[in-house]
Structure 1
Amino acid sequence: MRKDLFNLGPVFGYFFRKNDPNRPTNFNLRTMHFINKLSLAMFLVGFLVLLYRWFIR
C-alpha cells in the first residue's frame, strides 16, 4: 500500500499558498483558481453538514 495515498498536504497547501512571481497570471487563470477553491469549500461545508446530520441528530 502506498503511504502517500492519503497525503492531504497539497490539498491544504492549495488554499494557503502564496503567489509565485514566476507563474504567469491572467484573468482566466485567477478565475479558474477562485472557482476551484469555492467548489472545494462548498463541498467541505456540505460534507460537514452531512456528518452533523448523521451523527449528532
Structure 2
Amino acid sequence: MRKDLFNFGPALGYFFRKPDPTRHTNFNLRTMHFINKLSMAMFLVGFIILLYRWFLR
C-alpha cells in the first residue's frame, strides 16, 4: 500500500494557511476560495454523518 494515499496535509493546509501578501487578490478569487472551503467542509460533515449512520446504528 502506498504511503502517500492518505496524506491529507495539503488539504488541511488549505484551510489553515495565511494569506500570501505577494499574491494579487480580488473579489472573484476570494469568493472562489470561500466556496471551495465551504464545499469541502460540507462534504466532511456529510461524510461524518454517513459514517455515523453506517457504524453506530
> TM-score higher than 0.5 here?
yes
Q: Deviations over 1:20-39 (max 9, x none)?
A: 10111000000000000000
**Identity of counterpart residues, as a percentage?**
82
2:16 pairs with 1:16: yes
Letter of the 1:15 counterpart = F
Q: Indicate the RMSD between aligned Cα atoms, in angstroms.
A: 1.2
How many corresponding residue pairs?
57
Q: TM-score, normalised by structure 1?
A: 0.91
> Unaligned 5+ residue runs, structure 1?
none
Distance in 2 (alpha carbons) for counterparts of 1:9 and 1:32: 21
Residue number in structure 1 paired with 2:37:
37
Q: Deviation above 2 Å: which 4+ runs of structure 1?
A: 1-6
What is the CA–CA distance in structure 2 between the aligned matches of 1:54 and 1:2, rounded to whole Å? Answer: 27
Structure 2 gaps, min length 5: none
